[in-house]
Structure 1
Amino acid sequence: MVELLDRSPRADGGEPLPELTGDSAKGSEMMVTHNHLPRLAEADFIVWDQETDEVAKGPRFEEIRPLLELIDSHAGELPEEWI
């Protein structure tokens, strides 16, 4: 979701989800799609179009902006799987 910090949602719904690569990509993709995205959407932090896999800022996105900015500014210090 850190990617949404620098992007404004497009008028047609949002930004496509980034492609996941590497050995853990399949497990990561399943975790994001089946766990994280539904929870973030339910909390109104994001708007997620499941058919197109597009994500946009939700009505409550600004509430989590400080946390995402902190994570983004310390990305090099955090474990890769946290980002």
Structure 2
Amino acid sequence: MKKNDHAIAYWKENIRYVLILLTIWFLVSYGAGILFKDALNHIRLGGFKLGFWFAQQGSMYVFVVLIFVYVRLMNKLDKKYGYDK
């Protein structure tokens, strides 16, 4: 594989990871906090309605977790393509 093809494959995989993680974050923050809040409000978490909890705190927690997932994925991707040196 040429160096340029190597870099293009690396960035395609990187962009795919970013799009997947942003989609998850969108579904959690917008979907659970706004679109599906009425259905989620029937469930309680710590005394609060689940839709309210996602709108106020859940999306932030998910975002922080997704940051760690992204770091782990990128470390594996760097090793796969030899950019970890």
Bigger helix fraction: 2
TM-score calculated relative to the size of structure 2? 0.27
Q: Which has the higher contact order (CA 8 A, sep 6+)?
A: 1
TM-score calculated relative to the size of structure 1? 0.27
